[in-house]
Amino acid sequence: MATAWPSTQHAGTTSTTSLPSQARSRFQRLFGTDVALVTAGSSAVDLRGAGSVRIREEGIEAIMASVPSSDAHEPPTLIEQDGRVYLADRVSPVAVLLAGPLGDLDAEAKDRVTDGLQMLREVYADLIEQATRAHRAQSQMMVLNTVGEIISREPDIDQVVKDILHMATSLMEADNGSVMLVSPGTDVMRIAYAQGLPPEVVDQVRVKVGEGVSGHVAKTGEPVLMRKGQRHRLSTMTQQRWSAAICVPLRIRDRVVGVLNIRDDTRGTDFTEDDVHLALTFASQAALAIENKRLVEKLTERVADAQSEILEINQDLTQIRERLQNIVRSIANPVLVADAERTLMLINRSAEEALGLQPGLALMRPIVPALSSTEEGKVLAEALQKVFAGETTETTETPEIALGSPVARNYQVHVSPIYSGGETVDGYVISMLDVTELRELAALKSEVVSLTSHELKTPLTAIVGFARTLKDKGDAVDDQTRGEFLGIILNQAARVNNLVTNLLDLSKIEAGRALDLNVRETSVPDMLLSAVTAVREAYASDTHEFRVEVADGLSSAHMDADKIEQVVINFLTNAVKYSDPGEVLVSACHQADGGLRLSVTDHGKGISEEELPTVFDRFQRVGDKSHRRKAGHGLGLYLCKAFVEAHGGDIGVTSKTGEGSTFYLDLPAHTANPTDPSS
């Protein structure tokens, strides 16, 4: 890298090179003659000393050819030009110092001029070194600025390294270059980036750390400068032609991650130490870019891992949330969940049905306005407003609310806060317990107690009264009266026994226990005649005529004879109690599927259409007040339904007001006997 002296312009000539004016003036004072710096390519040089000598182009070429070397130990050359004598001293391959003309100077004066030239050459060398340093700093600054621009405009770090390598080879006028990196987890380097190298070289070259020039630089961290035409002592290659090359380390903090190679096969001169410094500048920037790439990749990997973990966590949370939602949705009782701001976050199907809400429409809305969109929801919304107004942090039970129409269901509402930690309320769970059956059971118990006391009081009073009469006045009572009294006592005792039996059967049904059946082959005609006889004797009345019709070929069927007879007796009893005197038809016939139908038809007042659906409900007694004054407790038909369904059959009634009613039961072709292991 040659550094030129300042140039001056002369009219009619090209640029000429001269010494700084201060150095030239000082030389003239000390040695009595003029001095100039002559460079190859100059058109003319002025020596403003004696006679203002002007040396033209051909004279300059002769002077350059006459001064053979630039060795610091070589004395100045005495030359003659245009009839004048000069001293010339070469200071570079393209420049010489020229002093003169000398005229008739004696030997001492010439020695003094020679010493002056040597001194001036040292000054020149110092100036060249300073200029070189300045040029090096300028080049490095240019590299840093250029690389900074590349990094700022190029997001692809791989492209940044390629641009740095391209700029290094171009600026250093090299044929090719490469960046070799140590493969992770190994001690082998490969070419990661290349400029001017064949693809097969890039693919095949592998260098172990510590081997060869590149391996040595990677191991020691010291740069290597290789001269043109000379084999370096560290080289492991065998080749005829040796290129000028530089190998410098890529250093990241205190470790070497690779090397930068710059090679030139055609240049006429070697690389210099300045080139080494410049290459180190490129290498430091490339290393910085590579480290940034590594950090970005590591950060990207961590971000990807974090995203993967977050995705897995979100999937787990989604599964947990879905599982919780499914659990809540599957709960039979209505459940609602609100957040701390009382926004409805979750509601199960039971709650939507109980509150008359469309599926999903109330979600993510403030709970009170969301519930208030339906008549049923308004009832719950008002109850919740009272709870929220109290700002209680304990589980709150609201007064019972009735929802639904026409048949209302009673709910007990519990509002439980959700705590996220300490005393902070993070939401609310609203659960609705359906207490309709509990309330009905409580009412049933009261009704059973009332009914039992009423139904037992009348027959027991009669039994006690007639029994006391017989005891106290037995001798005075004639045989006919005594027989009547005993008949009444037996009749009322049977009534009490019937009530107790019905209550026991009712308790079994309400407890969910199956009724015990004793299924056997039963004569249908005999069973029907037995039922008719029992009713006729119980009521001792000739006002109703009982007619039994059994289909041809129907002789027997599988059934629990006692329970089916009890059903028929109940049908007949109701016919006697709730119809005017007349015929009561008892019939038995086959069904199309092979089953059996038994029916009892009367010609009484009948049952209204509105009351038909409730005929077989417990404690249900239909008809007007005259009907309800008849003895009975409203359990007969309810138990009949249970007996028939226990057989796997069906029970029903058809009726028209003013024309009478037909009660019937259908039994399947074969009824299983729960007491028989083979059934």
490-499, 530-539, 620-629: lowest mean pLDDT where? 620-629
Share of the chain above pLDDT 90, in %: 7
In angstroms, rounded to a whole number, what is the distance separating the alpha carbons of residues 464 and 456? 12
DSSP sequence for 310-369: HHHHHHHHHHHHHHHHHHHHH-SS-EEEEETT-BEEEE-HHHHHHHTPPTTTTTTSBHHH
Q: Which residues are within 8 A (CB) of 294 and not within 5 positions of it... i.e. 6 or more apart? A: none
In angstroms, rounded to a whole number, what is the distance separating the alpha carbons of residues 520 and 537? 27
Confidence of residue 138 (pLDDT cuts 50, 70, 90): low
Q: Who wins on pLDDT, 68 or 48?
A: 68
Q: Who wins on pLDDT, 446 or 225?
A: 225
CB 398 within 8 A of CB 381: no
- Using DSSP's 3-state secondary structure scheme, residue 587 falls into strand
For residue 652, pLDDT beyond 80: yes
What pLDDT score was predicted for residue 4?
Answer: 36
CB 49 within 8 A of CB 28: yes
Most confident of 81-90, 190-199, 418-427, 509-518: 190-199
Burial degree of 169 (CB within 10 A; 0-12, 13-18, 19+): buried
What pLDDT score was predicted for residue 2?
Answer: 33
Q: Can you give the pTM of this predicted structure?
A: 0.39
In angstroms, rounded to a whole number, what is the distance separating the alpha carbons of residues 391 and 433? 22
- Nearest-Å Rg of the Cα atoms of the chain is 62
Query: Do the bridges between strand 16-17 and strand 7-8 make them parallel or antiparallel, or are there none, so unpaired?
Result: antiparallel
- The enclosing H or E element of 198 equals none
Confidence of residue 155 (pLDDT cuts 50, 70, 90): low
CB 194 within 8 A of CB 202: yes
Phi (first) and psi of residue 497, to 5 degrees? -65, -40
Q: Which residues are within 8 A (CB) of 349 and not within 5 positions of it... i.e. 6 or more apart? A: 329, 359
CB 54 within 8 A of CB 44: yes
CB 649 within 8 A of CB 626: no
DSSP sequence for 442-471: HHHHHHHHHHHHHHHHHHHHHHHHHHHHHH
- The enclosing H or E element of 388 equals helix 375-390
Alpha helices in 10-68 (DSSP H): 21-31, 57-66
Across residues 83-109, what is the average pLDDT? 75
- Using DSSP's 3-state secondary structure scheme, residue 204 falls into helix
CB 673 within 8 A of CB 679: yes
Looking at this protein, which amino acid is placed at residue 627?
Answer: H
Confidence of residue 469 (pLDDT cuts 50, 70, 90): confident
What domains are defined for the chain?
7-134 (3.30.450), 154-299 (3.30.450.40), 334-431 (3.30.450.20), 439-509 (1.10.287.130), 514-667 (3.30.565.10)
CB 165 within 8 A of CB 40: no
What pLDDT score was predicted for residue 658?
Answer: 84
Per-residue pLDDT of 282-334, as tens digits, reads 888 788 878 777 887 788 888 888 888 898 898 888 888 788 878 877 787 88
